[in-house]
Amino acid sequence: MTNSIPEIENNDVIFVIGSNTTETHPIIGLRMKKAVRKGAKIIVADPRKINLVRFSTVWMQHRPGTDVALLNGMMHVVLQEQLVDKGFVKEWTEGFDTFRKSLADYSPEKVEKITGVPKKDIVSAALLYGKAKRPAIYYTMGITQHAHGTQNVFAIANLALMTGNLGRESTGVNPLRGQNNVQGATDMGCIPNQYPGYQRVDLPSIRAKFETAWDAKLSDKPGLTATEMMNAAMEDKVKALYIMGENPVMSDPDTHHTVKALKNLDFLVVQDIFMTETAQLADVVLPSACFAEKDGTFTNTERRVQRVKKALNPPGKAREDSAIILELSRRMGYDMKYNLIEEVLREIGGLWPAVAGITYGRIEKWGLQWPCPTLDHPGTPYLFKGGFPRGKASFTPVSYEPSKELPDKEYPFILTTGRQLFQYHTGSMTRKVKELNIVAPEAYVEINPADAERLKIADGDTVRVTSRRGSIDLKALVSERPSEGLVFIPFHYREAAANILTNPQLDPVCKIPELKVCAVKIETGHGGQ
């Protein structure tokens, strides 16, 4: 997030695209509702009638995968209505002219045809956002999990840049991170092309810095992303995989492919708190401590480094992940020595100045938001105040490209997947909580009443959903939430794992899979085997 969570309540316009905020980030959802009570207007762009629509002024129910067209259409209107922040564009951006021309093709009339959103809604959304004083954009995986996810994000950035809506309090662009420490894991360099603090592995000076600090020879070759690792395992290029606290069998697209890839490995280690679907395939399974059983820090979606405290001892012989890694590293001939876990944070601060000012003592009660370079720095609630780190921000013209797998005669529905309020991710935690599973006991496919009637499906019927990659049987939930032609399946349930169906096509830049759009067919009469 370029802004922080408390700033949400002072937005005057909240533009939510590709985020079912009240279910995926319930407490951020509360801040949005608070903003509405204080007079803010909400624009929702979502193919499903999510809860937030109830609080919105404009709801654009666009077809999944048409975000670029929708955003370009809004920007077309912003341009026409002369709502461009010329001062900001001149002072802080580059490439505006080329970008401006790229919007010519996206008249609201044309965009209506691509997205299915009535022209008048595109115009009113653009006017609302374009005229607002403190607007912010919020998005989640509905924007990113596409083969053109990077393009979607560029389009969002363009909209914020052309209206000058970045770098001020309660004004910015806010991807909401889906997991407690996904921000932190990325910050810490658990990405194949960057060391901690987004420092590139292929720049010799940076590599030299880390080689000195770690007293080791480091590779200059950027590594593989998670999704590429599975392909490399299939091709015998990756022989051994060490997984700490992840469950790719459930979370990766095309489950059959993932399982095949994992089985093709020579050696698989899984370190987790439960015997997950992935751990069942492992050669070695290591029991680890959960969040309540260790000390450390998490970094939330607004870059706030927060203190995690040990409340319990782990069960049986389970150990903290840090202790396991340190011991294994020692046995592999690379001894990392720390007396206290806080020394690790200190080491990180030495290599990445943005967190150098954060100590456990300072975040005992309230977390601090990076950048926080010195011990007396108060942290940074919002980014880009008074400019961008790279100087000027670039406009990146983007053009609409359809999703890779669109409905056809054989597979006439679009499937989109996501999270529900009462379950979490691959379910390894929430599926173990009895109470949650009473209210959210099983997988379902949300289907529009018109489609259900046509296929003679009643609410609660067991149906078979099939894509080019596999089939699952699950209950039908006849609901007005999805539009006609669209179905939705939550991906938490191993009994009917949505990712058996999803498309492993990757975005060419960031390698994110197209989990939000694939083509499926729906059949009845399989009796729920």
Partner 1 sequence: MIDLSINGLPVSVPEGTTILDAARFADIPIPTLCHHPKLTPYGGCRLCIVDVKGINRPVTSCTTPVAAGMEVTTTSPTIEKLRKTILELILSDHPNDCMVCEKAGDCTLQELAYFYGIRENRLDGERRVYAKKDDNPFIERNMEKCILCGKCVRICDEVQGVGAIDIAYRGFNAKVCPPFEKNLDCEFCGQCVSVCPTGALTGKAWGQRGRQKDIKEIETICPYCGCGCSITLHVRRNEVIRVSSREDTLNEGWLCPKGRFGYSFINNAARLKTPLIREEGQLKEATWDEALDFIADRLGKVKAKYGADSIAGLSSARCTNEENYLFQKFMRAAVGTNNVDHCARL
- Residues in 401-460 that interact with partner 1 by CB under 8 A: 421-422, 424, 429-430, 432-436, 438-439
Q: Which CB sits closer to partner 1, 226 or 455? A: 226
Site string for partner 1, 19-58 (x = CB under 8 A): -----xxxxx-x--xx--x----------------xx---
Q: Which CB sits closer to partner 1, 337 or 456? A: 337
Is there binding between residue 300 and partner 1 (CB under 8 A)?
A: yes
Q: Which of residues 364-393 bind partner 1 (CB under 8 A)?
A: 365-367
Q: For the CB of residue 136, give the shortest distance to partner 1 in the complex, in Å.
A: 16
Q: Which CB sits closer to partner 1, 450 or 509? A: 509
CA 96 to chain centre: 28
Judged by CB under 8 A, the residue of 10, 57, 107, 180 near partner 1 is: 180
The stretch near partner 1 (CB under 8 A) out of 96-104, 111-119, 164-172, 288-296 is: 288-296
Q: Which CB sits closer to partner 1, 127 or 182? A: 182
Q: For the CB of residue 181, give the shortest distance to partner 1 in the complex, in Å.
A: 5
Q: Which CB sits closer to partner 1, 201 or 518? A: 201
Residue 345, classed as helix, strand or coil, is: helix
Q: Which CB sits closer to partner 1, 116 or 287? A: 287
> Are 102 and 397 in contact, with CB atoms under 8 Å apart?
yes
Q: For the CB of residue 101, give the shortest distance to partner 1 in the complex, in Å.
A: 32
* Residues in Cβ contact with 271 at an 8 Å cutoff, skipping those fewer than 6 apart: 242, 243, 244, 245, 285, 286, 287, 288, 321, 324
* Residues in Cβ contact with 253 at an 8 Å cutoff, skipping those fewer than 6 apart: 227, 499, 502, 503, 504, 513, 514, 515
Q: Which CB sits closer to partner 1, 178 or 402? A: 178
Q: For the CB of residue 265, give the shortest distance to partner 1 in the complex, in Å.
A: 9
Spatial distance between the Cα atoms of 15 and 90, rounded to a whole number of angstroms: 25
Q: Residue 129 — φ and ψ, nearest 5°?
A: -70, -45
Q: Which of residues 258-287 bind partner 1 (CB under 8 A)?
A: 266-267, 269, 272-275, 279, 282-287
Q: For the CB of residue 302, give the shortest distance to partner 1 in the complex, in Å.
A: 7
Q: For the CB of residue 244, give the shortest distance to partner 1 in the complex, in Å.
A: 5
Task: Pick the closest to residue 176 from 144, 140, 149, 152 (CA basis).
Answer: 140
Judged by CB under 8 A, the residue of 264, 322, 359, 462 near partner 1 is: 322
Site string for partner 1, 198-237 (x = CB under 8 A): ---x--------x---xxxxxx-xxxxxxx-x--xx---x
Q: Which of residues 128-157 bind partner 1 (CB under 8 A)?
A: 144-145
> Scanning the structure block, which residue is given the tokens 């048409």?
66
Q: Which CB sits closer to partner 1, 223 or 528? A: 223
Is there binding between residue 242 and partner 1 (CB under 8 A)?
A: yes
Residue 139, classed as helix, strand or coil, is: strand
Task: Pick the closest to residue 89 from 80, 81, 98 (CA basis).
Answer: 98
Spatial distance between the Cα atoms of 514 and 252, rounded to a whole number of angstroms: 10
Is there binding between residue 3 and partner 1 (CB under 8 A)?
A: no
* Residues in Cβ contact with 318 at an 8 Å cutoff, skipping those fewer than 6 apart: 273, 287, 288, 289, 293
Q: For the CB of residue 352, give the shortest distance to partner 1 in the complex, in Å.
A: 10
Q: Which of residues 329-358 bind partner 1 (CB under 8 A)?
A: 329, 331-334, 336, 341, 344-345, 347-348
Q: For the CB of residue 308, give the shortest distance to partner 1 in the complex, in Å.
A: 5
Q: Which CB sits closer to partner 1, 87 or 333? A: 333
Measure CA of the first residue to CA of the last residue in the chain; give whole Å.
44
| Residues belonging to the chain | 529
CA 156 to chain centre: 15
Q: For the CB of residue 22, give the shortest distance to partner 1 in the complex, in Å.
A: 8
Peptide bond before 381: cis, by omega within 30 degrees of 0?
no
Q: For the CB of residue 443, give the shortest distance to partner 1 in the complex, in Å.
A: 18
Q: Which CB sits closer to partner 1, 5 or 161? A: 5
Q: For the CB of residue 478, give the shortest distance to partner 1 in the complex, in Å.
A: 18
Q: For the CB of residue 168, give the shortest distance to partner 1 in the complex, in Å.
A: 21
Q: How many residues sit in the footprint of partner 1 (CB under 8 A)?
A: 148
CA 30 to chain centre: 20
Q: For the CB of residue 172, give the shortest distance to partner 1 in the complex, in Å.
A: 16
124: left (phi over 0), alpha (psi -120 to 50) or beta: alpha
Judged by CB under 8 A, the residue of 88, 92, 154, 298 near partner 1 is: 298
> Are 143 and 17 in contact, with CB atoms under 8 Å apart?
yes
Q: Which CB sits closer to partner 1, 59 or 195? A: 195
242: left (phi over 0), alpha (psi -120 to 50) or beta: beta
> Are 354 and 371 in contact, with CB atoms under 8 Å apart?
yes
Helix and strand numbers (H, E) in the chain are 18, 23
Q: Which CB sits closer to partner 1, 84 or 201? A: 201
Q: Which CB sits closer to partner 1, 179 or 399? A: 179
> Are 112 and 77 in contact, with CB atoms under 8 Å apart?
no
Burial class (CB in 10 A: 0-12, 13-18, 19+), 461: middle
